[in-house]
Amino acid sequence: MSGFELFLKYFSRALMILLVMPVINSVRGLVAKSQGDDTAEQAGRITLNPFMHLDPIGSLAILLCGFGWSKPMPFNVNRMKDMKKGIILLSLSGPLTHFVSAILCDLVMNIMLCSENIRMKLALSEISPIFCIFFILTIISGINVCLGVINLLPLPGMDGFNVLYQFAPPKFLNWYHSNYRMINQVSTIILLALFFMPSLTNGMIDPLGWLIDVVGGWLGMLTSWIPSKFGN
């Protein structure tokens, strides 16, 4: 990767922090409000102002690693009209918005690929405005898929676990609350293991990367047909 491409990669990650993460959080706040909880709105968090959503460590993680988090959104599920439904919708809204963002990036890229002139320019890999736009969209799409998949993992602290929790039998709930601290510590260890496993195994074992690639492939198929249908 050239120096300019490296600059574009970090620039893309900065755009993710400043432009996309505020949208993700605002959608979550709007979903909570639709369910009767206006805590996020009262806190001024339903806004596209990125500085209202920045978490220093999470933002740095996105910038350096390509995945991270923003400042937690304030919610009060006790204010929701239907707590179970509200928690499920709230938990799904973040990952789904990430996936929609990835699809929109893919859509723009595939519309660009309808032009033979653009395809030729991209094939040459020469630095140009078209190349920069395509490169940035590729990075942002990938980050959104990554964050969407991570948030849907069925581990405590993740949105996926919050959804499954709503359907768990009483025995599991009692066991979870009785061993809350130990379970969350194990969950953190599992998450860290998933992140560092590729480095520790020279890329031979990477279940999280495989899952991200599979989901990214599925999402990509939604728009990948456009160039063959409308291209020249």
Among candidates 2, 93, 79, 13, which has minimal Cα distance to 42? 79
pLDDT digits (tens, 9 = 90+) for 70-124: 999 999 999 999 999 999 999 999 999 999 999 999 999 999 999 988 898 888 7
Mean pLDDT of 12-38: 96
Among candidates 123, 62, 129, 2, which has minimal Cα distance to 137? 129
Which SS3 state, helix, strand or coil, does residue 49 take?
coil
Please tell me the distance from the alpha carbon of residue 54 to that of residue 108, in angstroms, as a whole number: 27
Please tell me the distance from the alpha carbon of residue 2 to that of residue 23, in angstroms, as a whole number: 31
* Chain-centroid distance, C-alpha 171: 32
pLDDT of residue 199: 84
Banded pLDDT at 1 (limits 50, 70, 90): low
Please tell me the distance from the alpha carbon of residue 28 to that of residue 79, in angstroms, as a whole number: 15
pLDDT digits (tens, 9 = 90+) for 141-189: 999 999 999 999 999 989 999 999 999 999 998 999 999 999 999 998 9
Q: What are phi and psi of 74, to 5 degrees?
A: -80, 130
Amino acid letter, 169? P
Among candidates 22, 12, 26, 1, which has minimal Cα distance to 109? 12
Please tell me the distance from the alpha carbon of residue 97 to that of residue 224, in angstroms, as a whole number: 20
Of 100 and 125, more confident: 100
